[in-house]
Amino acid sequence: MPLQADELDDATRLLWSGKINQAVIAIRSLAEKGNVKAQLLLGHAYDHENPMVKRVDYSEAMKWFKRASSQGSGEGSAAVAELFEQGFGESSQ
């Protein structure tokens, strides 16, 4: 899906240029459409403190990692396992 890859690049450029709210909206939209890289990006954003999200939310991180994992992403599967190992899997979706 080259178009989605270009859209993700555009969203990432928004992020780096400081337009964080616009970037998050664009990345979330791509993730909801099934873009694995966007799902992983959101998962990592919710898993760590950063300017992209207001606060760490392990449940939200787990949701995005599971979506990526369900599409065959090894990185997504590893992130799900890591969250479970850290004790954040019980109350997740």
- Contact of 45 with 31, CB cutoff 8 Å: no
Number of H helices, E strands in the chain: 5, 0
What confidence tens digit (pLDDT) does each residue in 48-75 have?
Answer: 988 888 899 999 999 999 999 999 999 9
Integer Cα distance of 47 and 88 in angstroms: 10
Sequence-distant (≥ 6) Cβ neighbours of residue 57 within 8 angstroms:
46
CATH number of this structure's domain 2-85, picked from the four choices 2.60.120.10, 1.25.40.10, 1.10.3720.10, 1.20.1580.10: 1.25.40.10
Q: Report the pLDDT averaged over residues 33-45.
A: 96
Integer Cα distance of 45 and 89 in angstroms: 17
In this prediction, residue 6 carries a pLDDT of: 86
Phi, psi of 73 (to 5 degrees): -80, 120
| Domains of the chain, residue spans | 2-85
Provide the terminal-to-terminal Cα distance of the chain, rounded to the nearest Å.
27
- The verdict on pTM exceeding 0.75 is yes
